[in-house]
Copies of this chain bind each other. A is one copy, B any other.
Amino acid sequence: MSLNEKQNHGTGIDLSHHLSKVSRARKISPLRGLQKYMSKPGLVSLAGGLPSAEYFPFASVTGELLVPNSFPLNTESESSRSWFWKLFSRAEKERTTSFTVGKYPKHPGDLSLESSLQYSLASGQPQLQEIVHEFVERVFQPGYSKWATLIHTGNTAGFHAVVQTILNPGEGLMVSEWTYPGAMAIAQPYDIRAVPIGMDSEGMSSISLRQTLAEWDESARGMARPHVLYVIPIGQNPAGTTMRVARKREIYDICVEYDVIIVEDDPYFFLQEGKYVPKSERVSEPELDDEAFIASLAPSFLKIDYQGRVIRMDTFSKTVCPGARLGWFTCNPMFAERFERTTEASAAAPCGLTQVYVASLLLNWRYTGYMRWLKGLRIQYKQRRDHLVDCIAEEFHMQRTISMEGITESATMYHASLKPKRSFVPLSEKDLAFSKPLFSFIAPSAGMFVWLTLSLEDHPSFSSLGYKAVEMKLWTEIAEAGVLFAPGAMFSPVEVEDDTPGPGHFRISFSDSTPEGMKKAIGVFGAVLRKFMQAS
């Protein structure tokens, strides 16, 4: 369908009152007067300001691609585990395939540099638009019919366009109490104010959301009840939590009740690693066909959206590469049209080379090949997650409990305490004190991060320093010892002071370190923590 089709997206719901002042002031497509004539046969246009493609210095571009089945589907076999380790030796020659795109198309509809490297539509190359639309239909299965997709230049640019389009200065933006600081850095300079919503083991709490909206006091808060919710539902950054479909339904229903737009930022959708199982209990998992694989994943908010109030942002950053700066919106056509106008006045259009590379990759691999790649990638991240949590379990004394939060949710919580030193002499009272948990976490079932909740109340300077200062003191000592974690305070959407109450946190990533690096880092963490708790 045309992205220019406004407001009517087949749900009978008008959401145009959510558009910002800036977005309302933005004109319809500036080309509207010319479009009528553009497709006239034999037309000579001297209307544009395009350089001739003859002067593009690139005669052709070629990419050597990994094959879709570059990564194994099975974690458990010895061969697979040794393969994971071997990956980092770069010893094995990768299997590759290749593509070349020339300046002029060989057949109509082929990708060409003549068009890809020219000024082009903000909405992206037609080939890529088609691939993305079909992908959304098959994978995310939106709950209404007239949804639209629109290519964007990555979720950062995407969220910037969202902020410009549906938020006005002085308005509130509901976010999880710990959230991606990049999103806040986009919104806050425009005087968009964070409204933190409580979290549990599935991420954003529907109870806290309802309470916030139901009890909203405009004069006490100094702003109107917020009408936009930003959520990272899967492998949440930083907390690593994943919402199941029941939670999403609860949140969606509340958003219908209070007329809230849901911005679903979902970069980790395909990194759904599944539940962490301790090393000794691990069993092999079955290989799934494409449909069963999709059905096994927590669904998108799109699937339960029947009013067109979900703006989903997808990115190729985690499944292809971040340097592609490419992703897409799925949303109702009214928002898509406004995002397209916003893109015209910021990025102008996605980079042509990126579109050539990503479209060629997907055309070469096809849907089945890309699915195979995603399944393999999932297993890689699963192995990484398992390895990091295994390292923690080896370094620390671990206790498992079932966390009961909210009404229906439960998750396995791990509590880590220092292992007693191996010693000839009997354990002192001080040593025994170490057996108290110093941090706890829920092993993530998706994403890239383990979120440690610190319990440093027994630190000698705790009462004089305050919660967050102790977090930073420990963080600094770990950094001085050569290991960087992300300090928890970074992820607070509201200002954190040294003495702000509430436990400290570290976000630790398993996405890009070597297995040896993770092992070393957790060892250093243990050693520093042992010393730290004794220091006065």
Contact = CB atoms under 8 A, between A and B. Distances in A.
A70 to B, nearest CB: 8
A481 to B, nearest CB: 10
Given A49-B448, A347-B156, A323 B23 contact: no
A351 B351 contact: yes
A64 B61 contact: yes
Given A34-B484, A42-B482, A48-B512, A357 B353 contact: yes
Number of copies: 2
Given A44-B483, A318-B51, A347-B157, A62 B65 contact: no
Contacts of A46: 388, 483-486, 508-510, 513, 517-518, 521
Contacts of A66: 57-59
A153 B347 contact: yes
Interface string A513-532: 10001101100100000000
A349 B323 CA distance: 8
8 A-B pairs with least C-beta separation: A323-B352, A117-B323, A156-B348, A351-B351, A117-B321, A47-B484, A62-B62, A45-B484
A131 interface: no
B54 A59 contact: no
Given A59-B65, A59-B96, A154-B347, 4 more contacts: A49-B237, A50-B511, A56-B321, A323-B353
A457 to B, nearest CB: 24
A518 to B, nearest CB: 7
A191 B25 contact: yes
A382 to B, nearest CB: 13
B160 A345 contact: yes
Contact of A517 (B44, B59, B63, B87): B44
A349 B155 CA distance: 12
B509 A44 contact: no
A511 B49 contact: yes
A465 interface: no
B324 A47 contact: no
A272 interface: no
B353 A317 contact: no
Contacts of A119: 317, 322-323
A58 B485 CA distance: 29
A160 B342 CA distance: 10
Interface in A419-442: none
A295 interface: no
A147 interface: no
Interface in A348-368: 348-355, 357, 361
Contacts of A188: 25, 27
A496 interface: no
6 contacts: A51-B321, A53-B512, A55-B71, A55-B377, A57-B320, A321-B352
A34 B326 CA distance: 27
A38 B70 CA distance: 32
A509 B513 CA distance: 53
Contacts of A404: none
A59 to B, nearest CB: 4
A511 B186 CA distance: 38
Nearest to A41: B482
A252 interface: no
A25 B189 contact: yes
Nearest to A483: B44
A52 interface: yes
A242 interface: no
A37 B479 contact: yes
A26 B189 contact: yes
A511 B56 CA distance: 13
Given A25-B189, A348-B156, A60 B49 contact: no
Interface string A285-322: 00000000000000000000000000000000110111
A120 interface: yes
Nearest to A43: B482
B348 A154 contact: yes
Interface in A90-104: 90, 94, 96, 104
A477 B377 CA distance: 58
B518 A88 contact: no
